[in-house]
Amino acid sequence: MKYCGVINRYKKYLPVSKKTPIITINEGNTPLIFANKVSAVLGKKFRVYLKYEGLNPTGSFKDRGMTMAISKAVESKSAAVICASTGNTSASAAAFSARSDLKCIVVLPEGAIAMGKLAQAMIHNARVIAIKGNFDDALDIVKDISENYPVTMVNSINPYRIEGQKTASFEIADYFGDAPHFHSLPVGNAGNITAYWKGYKEYYSYRKISRLPQMLGFQASGAAPIVKGYPIKKPETIATAIRIGNPASWQKAIEAKEESEGLIGMVTDNQILAAYKFLAKEEGVFCEPASAASIAGLFKLNKSGYFSRVKGKEIIITCTLTGHGLKDPKIAISCIKPPPVVPAKTRAVVKAAGI
């Protein structure tokens, strides 16, 4: 069957009608990759799968929500959309807007956006505005503007974003024929954990799955308001995608944690980078640093003995890798030594290659 994006595939479960113009770039349908070596770290009965959202058309999970938000904006005859972003939302909003002739305005924290993401927003012709403030400041401004001017906000406070993003849970459940036992993912503005949990709960209510997963969300320790229980004025982490001090869906994230009997934890930048390198070196999967928080969190929980209490023969854990590694090449390059430069001679190359 021909694949035409998440709305076409999951129309039945989404607030669309025959009148909704479907703006799609064939997002979704991303692979679930078995992570042999991550599983081995946890132990024999664990099977860890990576939901590689970096393979969406703009390189992140945001495309799932954006196809819905932009389709609904076009349906309601909106002329412009606006978002605050740590980068990926803006890249996605810009791309889907380009496809639908909407004007796209993005407000970003100056100097805190990975290069790939900034390049995307700009090449897709968004009106990009950098502010001398952080993501939380940008979100406040965007809320203010969308309440007072005729522009549609496409941050995850827009309920259509959550609707689109919940399709990732559907794909996972359809793949296994049931829910995983645990689902791990990074938490920034907390839209995605909200969406995944909504998706699993809906599938459960339609009896498409027989159980619900325990949701494991991870913040960066320098930007961990939900874990600490108060907003962080100056959030700091190398994982710029989740450098957020006052998440919009804070309460929904707590509900996902409590209802699923899961947890929201935090991981340090060093733990994030270690997981990021592990995935690249051992699994051949390149994600952005924020994405690796889901794996860093698993490793941390494993060390603390969290999984040793888990009963059952085979435990399936899915981890969302939210964005592609190429989004943030600077971080990758800063993690490795520059390559040796040798004379243009076979012998010199053979020697340097250690053959």
Among 28, 188, 235, 325, binds ligand F0G (CB under 6 A): 188
Closest CB to ligand F0G among 28 and 87? Answer: 87
Residue 224 half-sphere exposure toward CB, CA atoms < 13 A:
15
Q: Where are the beta strands (DSSP E) in 87-209?
A: 103-109, 127-131, 152-153, 182-186
* Selected range binding ligand F0G among 35-43, 124-132, 180-188, 342-350, rule: CB under 6 A: 180-188
Which residue has tokens 């854990």? 317
**């619900």: which residue's tokens?**
212
Helix (H, G, I), strand (E, B) or coil at 170: helix
Q: Which stretch binds ligand F0G (CB under 6 A): 99-107, 205-213, 287-295, 304-312?
A: 287-295
Instruction: Candidates 33-41, 84-92, 96-104, 122-130: pick the segment binding ligand F0G (CB under 6 A).
Output: 84-92
Indicate the residue among 269 and 315 with the shorter CB distance to ligand F0G: 269
Which one of the spans 33-41, 185-193, 202-210, 262-270 is the region binding ligand F0G (CB under 6 A)?
185-193
225 binds ligand F0G (CB under 6 A): no
Q: Does 87 bind ligand F0G (CB under 6 A)?
A: yes
Which range touches ligand F0G (CB under 6 A), out of 9-17, 183-191, 297-305, 307-315? 183-191
Among 60, 158, 214, 318, binds ligand F0G (CB under 6 A): 60
**Phi then psi dihedrals of residue 189, to 5 deg:** -85, -5
Interacting residue with ligand F0G among 71, 264, 322, 325 (CB under 6 A): 322
CB 83 within 8 A of CB 154: yes
Under the criterion CB under 6 A, does residue 221 sit at the interface with ligand F0G? Answer: no
Identify the burial level of 111 via C-beta atoms within 10 angstroms of its C-beta, where 0-12 means exposed, 13-18 middle and 19 or more buried. exposed
> Does 290 participate in binding ligand F0G (rule CB under 6 A)?
yes
Q: 180 or 235: whose CB is closer to ligand F0G?
A: 235
What DSSP designation does 323 have? Answer: B
Separation in Å, CA 291 to CA 36, 150, 279, 320: 18, 34, 10, 7
Which of 39, 58, 89, 120 forms a contact with ligand F0G (CB under 6 A)? 89
3-state secondary structure of 64: helix
Residues 138-177: x where in contact with ligand F0G by CB under 6 A, - otherwise, as a string: ------------------x---------------------
| Residue 189 interacting with ligand F0G (CB under 6 A) | yes
| Closest C-alpha among 67, 88, 127 to residue 239 | 88
Task: Spell out the residues 6+ positions from residue 269 whose beta carbon is closer than 8 angstroms to its own.
Answer: 220, 221, 222, 237, 238, 239
Contact letters for ligand F0G, residues 90-129 (x by CB under 6 A) = ----------------------------------------
Q: Which two tokens stand for residue 70?
A: 């932009």
How far is C-alpha 293 from the chain's CA centre? Answer: 10
Report yes or no: 186 and 271 within 8 Å, Cβ to Cβ: no
Binding site for ligand F0G (CB under 6 A): 60, 62, 85-89, 156, 186-192, 241-242, 288, 290-291, 322-323
